[in-house]
Amino acid sequence: MPHALNDIAQRLLAPGKGILAADESMGTCDKRFDKYGIQKTPEMRRQWRELLFSTPEIEKGLSGVILFDETIRQKTKDGVPFAKFLAARGILPGIKVDQKTEPLPDSFQEEVTKGLDGLSTRLSEYAKLGAKFTKWRAVIRIGDKLPTKQCLHENAKRMAEYAGESQIAGLVPIIEPEVLLHGTHSLLRSEKVLTETLSAVFQEIQKAKVALSGLILKSSMALPGNESGEKASAKQIAEATLHAFFSAVPSEVPGIVFLSGGQTPEEATVRLNEIVKMAKEQNAPWRITFSYSRALQDPVLKAWHGDEKNVQAAREIFKERVEETAKASEGRYTD
């Protein structure tokens, strides 16, 4: 089993490629549609995903796409299930399996991710629907006294339990402890919280005997808070991020993919490029690439506006976004 899992992980981490996160819940997708007055219906969400998945040549830069429960059950206008459609293009379909968050006991400000109830049943159904990998996201907030140890521990414990179950189902887990960009914290503090978060996660992962070679870490970059007023260069961000990874991520983990977390597409691309270049110089043991949602999709959604006549133009933009980001995943991006 670990071999088969490692094989899937290696395919997801293929050189010059990354992962598209298209696993926004219906609510999140609708919020993005709202911005452009796009109708919030299952059919419009289906058309949006079809626009993305059928863009020519994206398989050159995408190894996988993460889907949401609604999307893995939807089909192209020609009646091909999306998971099958992507697989036929050489793109591995994956699925988000966490189910929102609940308040951390005795805390008003922190949350813990839900989704362990009935998980193994859902995993075997998703495997039958064609999924090859899964994703679980936890949210870590930086604040005056945050995150608490309890928040880090409880989220890490649940994440490790999920990862074990996913591996048993033959699906590669992508563990995503997202340290939020929101706040007034410095780059240094972000690096410290990222290190603590990842240490807590891998402590629980190892306790639960999850195979490190058969999982992928999805991480935030270390970044100054969006209300800090601190300006950090791509080089400083790369240094801080890699410092956290070298302190906390075991070398047996085959790869680390980034979320974009509210950075602009340009920031997310330039910084990824810098991190990858620096990781090579420092002989980092992991393959590093992207698993972006907003940084890949935002300009495309804006161009589409829910209007059939804009599909072609939107696809052009998506193709270009994938190409640029894929270049950055090899440290070859020039703006």
Using the minimum distance from each CB to ligand 13P, give the nearer residue, 220 or 236: 220
- Please state the closest distance from residue 297 (CB atom) to ligand 13P, in A: 8
- Which one, of 107, 90, 89, 191, lies nearest residue 149 by Cα? 107
Number of amino acids touching ligand 13P (CB under 6 A): 10
- Please state the closest distance from residue 292 (CB atom) to ligand 13P, in A: 4
Residue 19 in contact with ligand 13P, rule: CB under 6 A: no
Q: d(Cα 98, Cα 102) in Å, to the nearest integer?
A: 12
Residue 294 in contact with ligand 13P, rule: CB under 6 A: yes
Range in contact with ligand 13P (rule: CB under 6 A) among 148-156, 183-191, 257-265, 280-288? 257-265
Residue 260 in contact with ligand 13P, rule: CB under 6 A: yes
**Identified binder of ligand 13P from the candidate list 95, 159, 171, 295, rule CB under 6 A:** 295
Q: d(Cα 335, Cα 330) in Å, to the nearest integer?
A: 14
Using the minimum distance from each CB to ligand 13P, give the nearer residue, 205 or 259: 259
- Please state the closest distance from residue 28 (CB atom) to ligand 13P, in A: 9
Q: d(Cα 198, Cα 206) in Å, to the nearest integer?
A: 12
Cβ contacts of 210 within 8 Å, gap of 6 or more: 160, 163, 164, 167, 173
Range in contact with ligand 13P (rule: CB under 6 A) among 67-75, 145-153, 209-217, 289-297? 289-297
Alpha helices in 62-146 (DSSP H): 69-72, 82-88, 119-128
133, 176 Cβ separation under 8 angstroms: no
Helix (H) or strand (E) holding 277: helix 265-281
**128 is written with which tokens?**
């039958």
In the shown chain, the binding pattern of residues 165 to 204 toward ligand 13P, with x for contact by CB under 6 A and - for none, equals -----------x----------------------------
Residue 63 in contact with ligand 13P, rule: CB under 6 A: no
Restricting to residues 69-98, which ones interact with ligand 13P according to CB under 6 A? none
Residue 21 in contact with ligand 13P, rule: CB under 6 A: yes
Candidate list 157, 218, 277, 327, residue with the active-site label: 218
**Identified binder of ligand 13P from the candidate list 53, 245, 292, 333, rule CB under 6 A:** 292
Q: d(Cα 27, Cα 270) in Å, to the nearest integer?
A: 30
Candidate list 24, 50, 165, 176, residue with the active-site label: 176
176 is catalytic: yes
* 33-41 CB contacts, 8 Å cutoff, 24+ apart: 33/301, 33/306, 35/301, 36/301, 36/302, 36/304, 36/305, 36/306, 37/305, 37/306, 38/304, 38/305, 38/306, 39/306
Torsion of the alpha carbons at 106, 107, 111 and 114, rounded to the nearest 10 = 10
**Identified binder of ligand 13P from the candidate list 49, 132, 137, 287, rule CB under 6 A:** 137
Binding positions for ligand 13P, rule: CB under 6 A: 21, 137, 176, 259-261, 292-295
As annotated, the active-site residues are: 176, 218
